[in-house]
Amino acid sequence: MDTFRLRCVLLAAAIIFVCTVKVSDAEMTMSNSTTIRPSSNTENRLIGNLLSQYSRYVRPVFNESTIVYVYYHMRLSRLLQMDERNQILITAMWLEQSWIDEYLTWDPKDYDNITAVYIPTTMIWIPDTVLYESADVDKELGNDVMLTNAKVFSNGTVFWQAPAIFKSSCSLSVTYFPFDQHSCKLQFGPWAYLGNEVIMKKRADSGDFSQLSPNGQWRLLGMPVEENLIKYGCCPIPYSDVTFFINLKRKSLFYVFNLIFPTVFMSFVSLLGFYLPPDSGEKVGLNITSLLSIVFFLLLGAQLLPPTSESISYLGKLFSTIIVIMSIETAMSVIILRLYHLHLPYPPPAWARWLILDKAAKLLRLKGWHHEYSANDDAALEVNDYGAHDFKASDPFEFDNRKSSMESRAIGESLLHKLDMNPDDVPESKPKEKQSSQDSDYGSETNDDSMGSSIMRIGNYIRRLVNNSRKKEALSAIQQQWIDMCLILDRVLLFLMMTALALGLFSILSIMSNPASQNQL
């Protein structure tokens, strides 16, 4: 029994000893951990001392007349979007601001040589810098920047770097679209503090865009910076701001390939309507189809541009020029088609025959349609020897009619020649009633008189046949002149419209693509 009690006492003593050793080891570990990070307590003590009597609502100066200089800098990281219709530029950037806070200074020797600490910007004074051209209706004015921690140095310098996404309004001039250049202004300044309280200063002459991500639509030309002191109507003291100008140039390959090239190609294809025969009904159909396609491209381009009346883009002028030329082309095609099928019984005016059938045909080297007409050719069309006019066999049926008419006329004149008679000298046949009365009075006519009367009737019939043949030939010659004039007009208009279209396109595209003619920047 005594032995059992002795064993229990020894076991309890061993347990107590082990627990005592564990507790002492834990205390030593806690003591060592406290001595490993002495700076944490020092930093806490430093921040506590700095903010113990600090007010973030007061300008960080001891003397109220002292001006706080805020140095502003911007690093552009991405061009997110350019909304042309609403004239809004969306950018992602890093903003850097620095100023002197006279209340946030200390001697590093008193705080284990700590020279800088990080303090949340919600606990210290920061300038109420806002973007004047902000177009973000979802955010309050001045709340576009993320409130990150600021780095505070022992001499009172506060350095604050924060990312931000800005939606800013940008006035666009689409005159030279799609070869346009723009300068979007980002004006940063304090909203409440006057120029005798806070002054904005630029830290460099240009913004930093060395880390800018490539953009498929825009190319950044530069980002200059300006300092301004602007006096507004509300206050006698000017306000200070720093203005960044983001100079952009549009990459035009997409619009040239998908908008300008199809339009120019369709405009030249529509001119081929003048090369079709005048009696082809597809001429007007081709012109109308081409005109509708140009209007479609015009509406497509209008959807890309802001609805402004301040300026008209050269692209719109290009479309307008093409539409006017194609409208004239359609109207002239209708007129030519009408003249071709009208079959007028009188010849074209003398000036038209001289200008079109003679001079224009000779100028365009249209040998098959060239006729040297004078102002006195109207009578020649009335009495014209067969074969003297250069008929064209464009219509086989019409050519056969002319040929049969000339053959009939030749047979009649040959018969009259054999009879030794002139068709103009053949007397008119007497009326039937008169002949019947004469037959009754002179019933004793000889066979020779009867044969002569038959010959006279035959001659009268042949005379009418020859005269009708001459009239048909004259009318056919007149109609052929109208047809030739329509064909020559088609060629003349083809060259005129092609020249006008080429000159218009060349001049407009030259102005659009010339950077020296753009004064936006």
pLDDT tens readout for residues 144-201: 677 889 999 999 999 999 999 999 998 888 888 888 889 999 999 998 899 899 999 9
Answer whether residue 82 shows pLDDT above 80.
Answer: yes
Spell out the residues 6+ positions from residue 326 whose beta carbon is closer than 8 angstroms to its own. 267, 270, 287, 290, 291, 294
> For residue 84, what pLDDT band results from cuts at 50, 70 and 90?
confident
**What is the Cα–Cα distance from 454 to 438, expressed in whole angstroms?**
15
| Residue carrying structure tokens 């936006």 | 520
Q: H-helix or E-strand containing 228?
A: strand 225-230
| Residue carrying structure tokens 């001049």 | 507
Answer whether residue 520 shows pLDDT above 60.
Answer: no
Q: Would you say 300 and 313 are in contact if contact means Cβ atoms under 8 Å apart?
A: no
Select from 225, 275, 290 the least CA-distant residue to 71.
225
From residue 51, give the alpha-carbon distance in Å to each of 60, 73, 462.
12, 27, 131
Domain boundaries, the chain: 50-251, 255-341, 343-433+453-508
Task: Name beta bridge partners: 118.
Answer: 151
Q: What is the pLDDT of residues 406-440, one digit of tens each?
A: 554 455 555 545 444 444 444 444 444 444 444 44
Considering only 27-31, 134-138, 258-262, 305-309, which range has the smallest mean pLDDT?
A: 27-31
Looking at per-residue pLDDT, the higher value among 486 and 116 belongs to: 116
Q: Would you say 162 and 95 are in contact if contact means Cβ atoms under 8 Å apart?
A: yes
> For residue 518, what pLDDT band results from cuts at 50, 70 and 90?
low
What pLDDT, on the 0 to 100 scale, is given for residue 400? Answer: 42
Residue 29 is which amino acid?
T
Select from 96, 75, 74 the least CA-distant residue to 212.
75
| Residue carrying structure tokens 């700590």 | 114
Looking at per-residue pLDDT, the higher value among 40 and 163 belongs to: 163
> Would you state the torsion angle of the CA atoms of residues 316, 319, 322, 323, taken in this order, to the nearest 10 degrees?
-100
DSSP annotation of 58 reads S
50-251 is classed CATH 2.70.170.10: yes
Best CATH choice for the domain 255-341 from the list 3.60.15.10, 1.20.58.390, 3.40.1010.10, 3.40.50.10470: 1.20.58.390
**What is the Cα–Cα distance from 228 to 102, expressed in whole angstroms?**
25
What pLDDT, on the 0 to 100 scale, is given for residue 23? Answer: 42
DSSP annotation of 354 reads I
Spell out the residues 6+ positions from residue 150 whose beta carbon is closer than 8 angstroms to its own. 118, 119, 120, 121, 124, 126, 158, 159, 160
Answer whether residue 517 shows pLDDT above 60.
Answer: no
Answer whether residue 404 shows pLDDT above 80.
Answer: no
Q: For residue 206, how many C-alpha atoms fall within 13 Å in the half-sphere facing its CB?
A: 10
Residue ranges of E strands in 121-213: 129-131, 149-153, 157-169, 181-190, 198-202
**Averaged pLDDT, 60-69:** 92
Task: Name beta bridge partners: 153.
Answer: 116
What does pLDDT average to over the chain?
A: 75
Q: H-helix or E-strand containing 229?
A: strand 225-230
Task: Name beta bridge partners: 219.
Answer: 249
Q: What is the pLDDT of residues 432-454, one digit of tens each?
A: 444 444 444 444 455 556 666 77
The answer to whether the predicted template modeling score (pTM) of the entire model surpasses 0.75 is no
Q: What angle do CA 493, 496, 501 make, to 5 degrees?
A: 120
